[in-house]
Chain A
Amino acid sequence: MRTTMTSPGRAALTAVAMVLVLSTGAARAADEPRLDHQSERFHEEPPILGTLLVDRLEHRWRDGQNSVDWDIQGWIGGDTNKLWFNSEGSKVVDGKLERAELQLLYSRMVSEFWDVQVGVRHDLRPEPQTTYGVLGFQGLAPYFFDVTAQLFVSEDGDLSARIEAESDLFITQKLVLQPFAEMNASAHRVSALHVGQGINDVELGLRLRYEVTKEFAPYVGVNWERKLGETANIARDHGEDPNDLAFVAGVRFWF
């Protein structure tokens, strides 16, 4: 199934890699003020900052194998240009790594609330390991929804997409309810990865966290995932349940 890399896929990846390399250097340069008074430099440099958010690090209890799941994001850069990092995955407790995804993106502010992001995604699991080119946007939608929407082109030229949104509802100043939703879709069937054509799955989560400090919050919640369409059929053919309901407990923290 998995043959040689198609040329459009390779071209896209090369382009993405180039952008990434150029942008990291440009990030610093672009955030420095342009000076028309070289001798009279305001001595403060705009700070290059970085942050890492472990949004979800949780144990999932379900009918079947329990797992540990994570969702992490971080960035380093200035106001306009950032080098962005995403990772999510799942590992069976005392078992194998089922999903592990890494993204490295160049993120550029294009409006008050939105960044455009371009870069690469590499999935260590499921196997075969797959590399994708990524184009997407990330930001804050009206009504305070954190939204990430991404388009992926795999090294085989397969096109897929993902959109996720989450929000924080303050019950008190420290008790926060976080609804979460995600949807994946694919333009092609990718049998090796058990992905069908069309909408692959939807995931809904609801987590209640207590912010001991702003930086550290344990939480409990529920997570429901449903495979759909062809993807669901593929799952059934492999003896998997397309429904996955899990109760979760974990911690959210950031630096």
Chain B
Amino acid sequence: MHTAPRGLSRRNALKLAGAAGLAGIVTAYPGRRTFAASGPPLELPVERTRITIDGETSNAIAIGGSIPAPTLRWREGEEVIVHVTNRLDEPTSIHWHGLLIQGVMDGAPGFNGYQPIMPGQTYTYCFKLRQAGTYWYHSHSASQEQEGMYGAIVIEPADRDPVRADRDYVVLLSDHTPEAPEAVLRKLKVSEGYYNNGKRTLVDFFRDAGRDGLGSAMRDRLDWGKMRMDATDLADVTGYRFLVNGKGSRDNWTALYKPGERIRLRIINGSAMTIFDVRIPGLSMTVVAADGQNVVPVKVDEFRFGVGETYDVIVMPTEDKPFTFFAEPIDRTGFARATIATRQGMEGEIPERRPRAVLTMADMGMTHGMDHDPMAGMDHDPMAGMDHGSMQGMDHSSMPGMNHGSMPGMNQNSMQGMDHSSMAGMDHGNMPGMEHGSTASQNQAVGWADAGTPPDAKALSYADLKSFRAREPRAPTHEIEIQLTGMMSRYIWTLNGEKFDEGAPIRVAYGDRIRIKFVNTTMMAHPMHLHGMFVELENGQTDRMPKKHVVLVPPGQVTSVQLTADEPGEWPFHCHLLYHMASGMMTRFIVEPRTASL
């Protein structure tokens, strides 16, 4: 495979695809590597192809001949050389998502002097691996990522891996649409709500009126109407098939095990637009790494999964039976499914589908217009210990019947005081006040954070993530507030109200320790991704703040991170929802060298 000629013929491409397919199987056995990195340079041609999902074929773009692209298994400390050849008739690029890397090798056109790879050209990436863990790579040009340009990176640690596993699988989730991405973006811009097939209808109104009373249902509709917002706006794009390692739910990608084995699943959300709720009914998952960085193991039943994030989990099935890996998008328009089985061809049960949440006023700008500054000086840490249970219990069970009109008058201060960073995947299991078994909850989840988690199940919360190694972080010397903003009706997404390159870039000095505060003024969650550096999530874990490259900021909430600006360069900083980035939700994060003039 390494000797694949630059002038790749169709037949060779097919061979390469076959080899890449094999490589996917090879990854099942730890110790074997798909590519011997210390060997010759790796060849990754980029070309148009067709993908068949559950029997339906559509257009796609492949890196290295397959979708997903071949899993790159490397070892920490190695130097790797990758030749990427563009066989498309448009510019392309490959970005190494999560890797600490020299700017020009990061692969984002328009940043750090990196130019897009023009048709027919080959670009040689060359970098040293400074970290271990699960990462991924994808196109950073146009909407090519949506068309299949994504693959997994697995970097084994230079030293002994603290995570022991008998089996090691990559589980790469993605969303695929038969539509051309340009057509998707156009529809989003010319026809608001085009892809929302779950709008609130008159039928819903009468159901809600019957349940909560006519006045309440009316007030709720009027509140949303007044804001010109849609309570069912959870995801912008539908028509997706949800894939596990490029396989549709009927194709059923299967991971094999022997009862009693420890299986490491390296789960990557390589979707363009889809936030998932992930679970494996019958198996609890022990999260051992987040965004490639080891965390103190935490046992969960499910987790909410932002676009671009990765979680490594250990599962230990002891029985000889198939288990279904199940990932539902938060708008519940389908599911990704795979099977963990003792033999090929086994199928587990498809679990019951979870209800689709209806957004509440709490998801929508309870924070609007508030003075956020007092938050800056506040100590977030003690808040993790707040009684989320009573808060959430109130929220979920009584919101439909509440007087939404009077919500703004609620005790906002105490709401604000909550640990927003941990809201994303709250611990529903510990919420005595909640009645998930009630009719309302079965038919309808209320509020963005409500994943419909059963009362006896544990959902991962950001607050659960504790860095494996303790650090003594410096206190941030200054704070940068980033408002996540947008105009849903026009499909313009912005940071601080400005589209990419309209606004001033963010500038920090090399070595600075800063806090970034994301203030989400929109009603959608935004997975915020910074290239070049990890951020440390302020989730109450003081000296064990987890390192992340993507932070999912829930609607209407505030999430803070810290970072040490120790990678000089000009880094992309953007929402990882592809069409949000494409419509402007991106800025430059410039780490400037310290000079006398500073």
Binding site for B on A (CB under 8 A): 33-35, 37, 39-44, 47, 49, 51, 79, 109, 112-113, 140-144, 169-173, 214, 254
- B200, CB-defined interface residue at 8 Å: yes
B residues in contact with A79, CB < 8 Å: 189, 490, 492, 499, 583-584
| Chain B 187-211 interface mask (CB, 8 Å, partner A; 1/0) | 0011100100111111100000000
| Chain B 422-447 interface mask (CB, 8 Å, partner A; 1/0) | 00000000000000000000000000
**Contact status of A254 and B191, CB under 8 A, knowing A42-B500, A172-B203:** yes
- B58, CB-defined interface residue at 8 Å: no
B residues in contact with A112, CB < 8 Å: 487, 489-490
User: Shortest beta-carbon distance, A139 to chain B, in Å?
Assistant: 9
A residues in contact with B141, CB < 8 Å: 43-44
Number of A-B contacts (CB under 8 A): 82
A49 touches B186 (CB 8 A): yes
**Contact status of A44 and B502, CB under 8 A, knowing A143-B226, A170-B202:** no
- B113, CB-defined interface residue at 8 Å: yes
B residues in contact with A109, CB < 8 Å: 490
Cβ contacts A to B, 30 pairs, < 8 Å: A33-B502, A34-B502, A37-B570, A40-B111, A40-B113, A40-B570, A42-B109, A42-B500, A43-B116, A44-B141, A44-B582, A47-B182, A47-B189, A49-B186, A49-B189, A79-B490, A112-B487, A140-B489, A141-B228, A143-B222, A143-B226, A143-B228, A170-B199, A170-B202, A171-B201, A171-B203, A173-B197, A173-B199, A173-B201, A254-B191
| Chain B 105-134 interface mask (CB, 8 Å, partner A; 1/0) | 000011111001000000000000000000
A residues in contact with B570, CB < 8 Å: 37, 40
Give the CA-CA distance A141 to B228 in the complex, in Å.
8
- B91, CB-defined interface residue at 8 Å: yes
Known: A33-B500, A169-B202. 5 other contacts (CB 8 A): A35-B501, A39-B113, A47-B185, A170-B200, A171-B202
B residues in contact with A49, CB < 8 Å: 186, 189-190
B residues in contact with A33, CB < 8 Å: 499-502
Who on chain B is nearest to A173 by CB? B197
A42 touches B501 (CB 8 A): yes
A37 touches B110 (CB 8 A): yes
Who on chain A is nearest to B586 by CB? A42
Give the CA-CA distance A143 to B487 in the complex, in Å.
16
Who on chain A is nearest to B227 by CB? A142
| B494-545 contacts to A (CB < 8 Å) | 499-502
Give the CA-CA distance A86 to B286 in the complex, in Å.
60
A170 touches B201 (CB 8 A): yes
User: Shortest beta-carbon distance, A67 to chain B, in Å?
Assistant: 29
| Chain B 90-113 interface mask (CB, 8 Å, partner A; 1/0) | 010000000000000000011111
B residues in contact with A144, CB < 8 Å: 225, 228
- B142, CB-defined interface residue at 8 Å: yes
Who on chain B is nearest to A177 by CB? B202
Interface centre among A44, A47, A173 (most CB of B within 10 A): A44
Give the CA-CA distance A112 to B489 in the complex, in Å.
8
| B169-196 contacts to A (CB < 8 Å) | 182, 185-186, 189-191, 194
Give the CA-CA distance A8 to B141 in the complex, in Å.
52
A residues in contact with B203, CB < 8 Å: 171-172
User: Shortest beta-carbon distance, B523 to chain A, in Å?
Assistant: 13
Give the CA-CA distance A90 to B433 in the complex, in Å.
62
Residue from A47, A141, A172 within 8 A of B201 (CB atoms) = A172
Residue from A40, A170, A173 within 8 A of B110 (CB atoms) = A40
Who on chain A is nearest to B226 by CB? A142
Who on chain B is nearest to A44 by CB? B142
Give the CA-CA distance A142 to B199 in the complex, in Å.
17
Residue from A43, A142, A172 within 8 A of B109 (CB atoms) = A43
Binding site for A on B (CB under 8 A): 91, 109-113, 116, 141-142, 182, 185-186, 189-191, 194, 197-203, 222, 225-228, 487, 489-490, 492, 499-502, 570, 582-584
Give the CA-CA distance A42 to B113 in the complex, in Å.
10
User: Shortest beta-carbon distance, B189 to chain A, in Å?
Assistant: 6
Interface centre among A34, A37, A113 (most CB of B within 10 A): A37
User: Shortest beta-carbon distance, A78 to chain B, in Å?
Assistant: 9
Give the CA-CA distance A141 to B437 in the complex, in Å.
39
B residues in contact with A47, CB < 8 Å: 182, 185-186, 189
B residues in contact with A37, CB < 8 Å: 110, 570
Give the CA-CA distance A109 to B494 in the complex, in Å.
15
Residue from B91, B197, B201, B225 within 8 A of A142 (CB atoms) = B225
A residues in contact with B201, CB < 8 Å: 170-173
**Contact status of A143 and B110, CB under 8 A, knowing A79-B490, A173-B198:** no
Give the CA-CA distance A37 to B112 in the complex, in Å.
10
User: Shortest beta-carbon distance, A164 to chain B, in Å?
Assistant: 18
B residues in contact with A143, CB < 8 Å: 222, 225-226, 228
For the complex of A and B, 8 pairs with smallest distance between CB atoms? A42-B110, A33-B501, A143-B225, A51-B190, A170-B201, A171-B202, A112-B487, A142-B226
Give the CA-CA distance A205 to B198 in the complex, in Å.
26
Give the CA-CA distance A79 to B189 in the complex, in Å.
8
Give the CA-CA distance A171 to B200 in the complex, in Å.
9
A residues in contact with B228, CB < 8 Å: 113, 140-144
Who on chain B is nearest to A255 by CB? B190
Give the CA-CA distance A254 to B192 in the complex, in Å.
13
B110 touches A43 (CB 8 A): yes
A214 touches B191 (CB 8 A): yes
A214 touches B199 (CB 8 A): no
Who on chain B is nearest to A74 by CB? B190
A residues in contact with B194, CB < 8 Å: 214
User: Shortest beta-carbon distance, B16 to chain A, in Å?
Assistant: 27
A residues in contact with B500, CB < 8 Å: 33, 42
Who on chain A is nearest to B195 by CB? A214
A residues in contact with B584, CB < 8 Å: 79
User: Shortest beta-carbon distance, A42 to chain B, in Å?
Assistant: 3
Who on chain B is nearest to A78 by CB? B189
User: Shortest beta-carbon distance, B315 to chain A, in Å?
Assistant: 38
Who on chain B is nearest to A172 by CB? B201
Who on chain A is nearest to B572 by CB? A42
Give the CA-CA distance A254 to B187 in the complex, in Å.
11
User: Shortest beta-carbon distance, B548 to chain A, in Å?
Assistant: 24
B residues in contact with A140, CB < 8 Å: 228, 489
A residues in contact with B222, CB < 8 Å: 143
Who on chain A is nearest to B108 by CB? A42
B residues in contact with A43, CB < 8 Å: 91, 109-110, 116, 141
Give the CA-CA distance A81 to B241 in the complex, in Å.
35
A residues in contact with B502, CB < 8 Å: 33-34
Who on chain B is nearest to A141 by CB? B228
B residues in contact with A113, CB < 8 Å: 228, 489
Give the CA-CA distance A171 to B201 in the complex, in Å.
5
A residues in contact with B490, CB < 8 Å: 79, 109, 112
Who on chain B is nearest to A167 by CB? B225
A residues in contact with B182, CB < 8 Å: 47
Give the CA-CA distance A42 to B487 in the complex, in Å.
23
Who on chain B is nearest to A109 by CB? B490
User: Shortest beta-carbon distance, A195 to chain B, in Å?
Assistant: 34
Give the CA-CA distance A105 to B182 in the complex, in Å.
26
B residues in contact with A254, CB < 8 Å: 190-191
User: Shortest beta-carbon distance, B587 to chain A, in Å?
Assistant: 11
Who on chain A is nearest to B93 by CB? A43
Who on chain B is nearest to A144 by CB? B225
Who on chain A is nearest to B222 by CB? A143
